[in-house]
Structure 1
Amino acid sequence: MFERFTKEARFAVIGAQEEARLLRHSRIGAEHLLAAVAGRPESPGGATLARLGITVEACREAIRSAAELGEDDAEALRSLGIDLSAVRARAERAFGPGALDRAPDGADEDEEASSRRWPFRVAKGPRQHHIPFAKDAKQALEQSLREALARRENRIGAEHVVLGVLTVGHPSTVKALRALGTDPAALRAELLADLRAAA
């Protein structure tokens, strides 16, 4: 399947790993694929995101907020006897201030430095670690092939990756999209309209 990916689609896959690493996530989700495409606004799919004001920075912030537990989540945990503030305080007493905010494997690169090099950085050295693709990201990539075939195209572009992400509609991606002021159906309609106009 990957031999059908265009250069832009391959950058989306590589970029998704960088986005997950940058956000200090332990897996690559469909939302990271979306952020990676947003980081290439000149690409098909990326241009639609840019037109709608969905930048890579906005995606990162939306993904961060989607990953945070809301007050309802905290209340549900409290009802089970779990106090998030107490957990954080205990972790910081044991491992130091900000222990829960540190990057995996002690990576200390800042977001700005990483985003200046992306997507051209190659993972090297002991600080880099493999980040696996989550089920929703795998499904989105599989769906990108279906989207290309449905459009009778013999290659998979960044636009198909976005369509795949939107079709899967994983809850964390939907939550991030809502934070960006849209939803999968609305974004899909915008992207398809742009693709029809470009044809």
Structure 2
Amino acid sequence: MFERFTKEARLVVTGAQEEARVLRHSRIGAEHLLAAVAGRPQSLGGAALFRLGITPEACREAIRSTGDLDEDDAEALRALGIDLSAVRARAERAFGPGALDRAQGGASETGETDETASRWWPFRSAKGARSHVTFAVEAKQALEQSLREALARKENWIGTEHIVLGVLALGHPSTVKMLRALGTAPEALRADLLAHLRPAA
């Protein structure tokens, strides 16, 4: 399947790995694919995100802000007097940007500081070299769906537009939350993208 990917689409796949590293996530999700597409605004998929004001930086912030808790969880915490945004802001003031994301990697569970955490961090070997970040199931499914989207349009290549359509077709909660945090809905992004593509054959 990978041989069908255009150069831009291949850069998105490798870029998604980098997005996960930047966010210090231990796996690549569908949301990282969208963030990587946003970094290719000259491509068809990236242009659709750009038209809606979605940049890689905005994606990263949305991913950080939505975290692993959904709106119901956040509302339940608010009912208990816990403002998740305020907790995140305080942690980042005290420990630096992305402090809670680093903690999700395991530092908080082991009690290690940032200095000692570098020994076990999943993206670096003992010598500091980058290691491979694995694709989560939903990211693999999104890439498989991108092939289906291309075939449905009778196109024999997979471009960034197909990756976006593949991610949106799955409707994974992490990407829906990210897009809502960015002020748009999956349906709006899909409609905008399709409006700028040639009609399916």
**Cα gap change, 1:161/1:72 in structure 2, threshold over 3 Å: closer, same or farther?**
closer
Are 1:106 and 2:121 matched, yes or no?
no
- 2:114 maps to none
Aligned to 1:34: 34
Q: Give the direction of change, closer, same or farther, for the CA distance of 1:165–1:71 in structure 2 (3 Å limit).
A: closer
In the alignment, what sits opposite 2:166? 164
Contact 1:31 1:173 in 2 (8 A): yes
Do residues 43 (structure 1) and 55 (structure 2) align? no
Is the aligned partner of 1:135 residue 2:137?
Answer: yes
The one-letter code sitting in structure 2 at the alignment partner of 1:162 is V
Q: Please report how far the alpha carbon of residue 129 of structure 1 lies from its aligned counterpart in structure 2 after TM superposition.
A: 2.4
Size of the aligned set, in residue pairs, is 172
Q: Which runs of 4+ in 1 moved over 4 A?
A: 74-77, 97-101
Q: TM-score, normalised by structure 1?
A: 0.74
Does structure 2 retain, via aligned residues, the 8 Å contact 1:106–1:127?
Answer: no
Aligned equivalent of 2:128, options 126, 129, 136: 126
The amino acid across from 2:186 in the alignment is P
- The offset of 1:39, in angstroms, is 0.4
Does the CA contact (< 8 Å) of 1:38 and 1:49 recur in 2?
A: yes
What is the Cα deviation at residue 66 of structure 1?
1.6
Aligned-partner Cα distance in 1 for 2:52–2:19: 20
State the distance in 2 between where 1:175 and 1:12 align.
Answer: 21
Aligned to 1:35, what secondary structure does the other structure show? Answer: helix
Deviation at 1:73, TM superposition (A): 2.4
Tell me, what secondary structure is at the counterpart of 1:161?
A: helix
Inter-CA distance 168–70: structure 2 relative to 1 (3 Å threshold) = closer
User: Aligned equivalents of 2:30 and 2:60: distance in 1?
Assistant: 13
Paired with 1:159 and 1:61, the residues of 2 have a C-alpha distance of 23
2:175 paired residue number: 173
**The residue matched to 1:195 in structure 2 has which SS?**
coil
State the Cα deviation string for residues 23-50 of structure 1 (Å, max 9, x = none): 1111100000000000010011101111
Give the deviation of 1:126 after TM superposition.
3.5
C-alpha deviation, 1:196, in angstroms: 3.0
CA contact (8 A) 2:39 2:55 kept: yes
Residue identity matched to 2:53 = G
Q: 5+ residue gaps in structure 1?
A: 78-82, 108-122
Deviations 1:87-120 (A, max 9, x none): x9xxx9xxxx67755486629xxxxxxxxxxxxx
Residue pair 2:64, 2:101 contacting (<8 A) in 1 also = no
Letter in 2 for 1:166: L
The separation in 2 between residues aligned to 1:2 and 1:35, in whole angstroms, is: 20
* Aligned residues: CA RMSD: 3.2
Q: Any conservation in 2 of the 1:9–1:157 contact (CA below 8 Å)?
A: yes
5+ residue gaps, structure 2, are 106-116
Match of 1:190 among 176, 183, 192: 192
Residues 23 and 101, structure 2, Cα contact 8 Å, conserved in 1: no
**Alpha-carbon spacing, 1:130–1:51, altered in 2? closer, same or farther (3 Å):** same
Counterpart for residue 118 of structure 1? none
Alignment of 1:82-97 (within 5 A): none
